């Protein structure tokens, strides 16, 4: 008889396979290819790589190690994980550089669309014995002109108090700690959840092999993931981090920004902690 798997049995291969599957669903729609754009970006990327090879006098043994490692990244299904950890933060900076309003951050590989939705406020789906400090996360969605945005969509998802995400680790309920709130007529929203924990990105596969070889650590600070949408406005995808949290200054994904630090305080009723964070969206 096989023992039932738990979240602590999560592997990089399993996580990578799920992340790759979700990314393929996300990008299933065909897009028009701009050949000039591909040539310009790919040409500069290869030129930069050629410069690195010259600068560091890369050997054939190192070149073969690179080819072997690239093959393993694909076999482990870790391209979404690898790119989201080491590249996405720069894409996000470029895309959102000229937008007013709330700061964005990376989406990462663990977003799942279609989470349960409520109006005004919700308690995220969780286990009866869900570990972690209860957290009330609330706020208001406004435009850059200060006007509230009623009906704005606020999506929240995050790791549990052990550092694992539902749908990416075995043994967790399908929508554990994932939910959506439609803001009330004043643009206000509230989520009742638990505080997440810092976690190491899956590191028993190809991405972890690179991290170990470079002598880096694989830790991400504790954070909340959010997506905020409102008609006529640019959406915001972001992450919020906890004041004084471990790894805020050395996030492996380089995604922490000063504007994204929150400082929850004890609730008056003693039922955990609470924090208010408002979102400001720029118009199209």
Give residue for tokens 């504007």: 259
Q: Flag whether 219 is in a domain.
A: yes
83 lies in a domain? no
State residue 169 phi and psi, 5-degree precision: -145, 140
Whole-number Å distance between alpha carbons of 124 and 120: 13
| Phi/psi of residue 168, nearest 5 degrees | -125, 5
- Counted domains in the chain: 1
Q: What is the DSSP string of 30-84?
A: -----HHHHHHHHHHHHHHHHHHHHHHT--HHHHHHHHHHHHHHHHTT-HHHHHH
In this predicted structure, the answer to whether residue 24 has a pLDDT above a threshold of 50 is: yes
Widest CA span of the chain, in angstroms? 65
Provide the residue range defining the domain that includes 131: 95-281
Asked if the structure places residue 256 within a domain, the reply is yes
What is the predicted pLDDT for the residue at 28? 63
The answer to whether position 19 is within a domain reads no
Q: Pairing between strand 121-123 and 188-194?
A: parallel
CATH of residue 206's domain is 2.60.130.10
Cα–Cα dist 30/28, whole Å: 6
Mean pLDDT, the chain, as a whole number? 93
How many residues in the chain? 284
* Confidence label for 5 from pLDDT (cuts 50, 70 and 90): confident
What band does 1 get if pLDDT is binned at 50, 70 and 90?
Answer: very low
Report the b/e string of 19-43 with b at 16+ CB within 10 A. bbebbeeeeeeeeeeeeeeeeeeee
The pLDDT tens digits for 196-234 are 999 999 889 999 999 999 999 999 999 999 999 999 999
Domain for residue 68, yes or no?
A: no
- The pLDDT-based confidence of 17 (bands split at 50, 70, 90) is confident
What phi, psi does 20 have (nearest 5°)? -65, -45
pTM (2 d.p.): 0.89
Residue among 121, 172, 122 nearest 18 (CA): 172
10 Å CB burial of residue 171 (0-12, 13-18, 19+) is middle
Nearest to 180 by CA among 135, 133, 125: 125
In a domain, 33, yes or no: no
Q: What is the pLDDT of residue 14?
A: 73
Tell me whether residue 198 is in a domain: yes
Cα torsion at 45, 49, 50, 52 (round to 10°)? 140
Residue 76 within any structural domain of the chain = no
pLDDT band at 247 (very low <50, low <70, confident <90, very high): very high
- The owner of tokens 């924090």 is 275
pLDDT one-digit tens code per residue, 152-193: 999 999 999 999 999 999 999 999 999 999 999 999 999 999
What pLDDT digit, counting tens, does each position of 109-122 carry? 999 999 999 999 99
DSSP assignments along 102-142, one per residue: S------S---S---EEESEEEPP--TT--S-EEEEEEEEE
């Amino acid at each position: 008889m096989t023992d039932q798997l738990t979240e602590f049995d999560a592997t990089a291969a399993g996580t990578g396979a799920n992340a790759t599957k979700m990314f393929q669903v996300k990008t299933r729609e065909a897009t028009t290819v701009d050949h000039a754009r591909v040539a310009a970006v790919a040409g500069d990327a290869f030129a930069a790589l050629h410069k690195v090879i010259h600068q560091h006098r890369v050997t054939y043994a190192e070149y073969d190690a690179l080819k072997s490692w690239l093959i393993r990244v694909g076999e482990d299904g870790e391209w979404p994980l690898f790119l989201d950890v080491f590249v996405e933060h720069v894409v996000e900076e470029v895309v959102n550089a000229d937008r007013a309003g709330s700061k964005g951050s990376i989406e990462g590989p663990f977003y799942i669309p279609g989470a349960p939705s409520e109006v005004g406020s919700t308690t995220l789906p969780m286990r009866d014995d869900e570990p972690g400090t209860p957290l009330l996360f609330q706020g208001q969605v406004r435009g850059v002109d200060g006007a509230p945005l009623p009906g704005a969509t606020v999506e929240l998802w995050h790791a549990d108090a052990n550092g694992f995400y539902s749908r990416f680790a075995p043994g967790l309920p399908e929508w554990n700690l994932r939910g959506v709130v439609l803001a009330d007529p004043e643009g206000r929203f509230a989520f009742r959840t638990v505080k997440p924990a810092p976690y190491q990105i899956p590191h028993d596969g190809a991405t972890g092999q690179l991290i170990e070889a470079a002598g880096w650590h694989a830790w991400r600070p504790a954070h909340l993931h959010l997506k905020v949408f409102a008609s006529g406005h640019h959406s915001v995808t972001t992450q919020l981090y906890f004041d004084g949290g471990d790894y805020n200054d050395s996030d492996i994904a380089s995604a922490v920004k000063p504007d994204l630090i929150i400082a929850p305080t004890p609730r008056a009723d003693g039922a955990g902690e609470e924090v208010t964070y408002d979102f400001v969206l720029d118009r199209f």
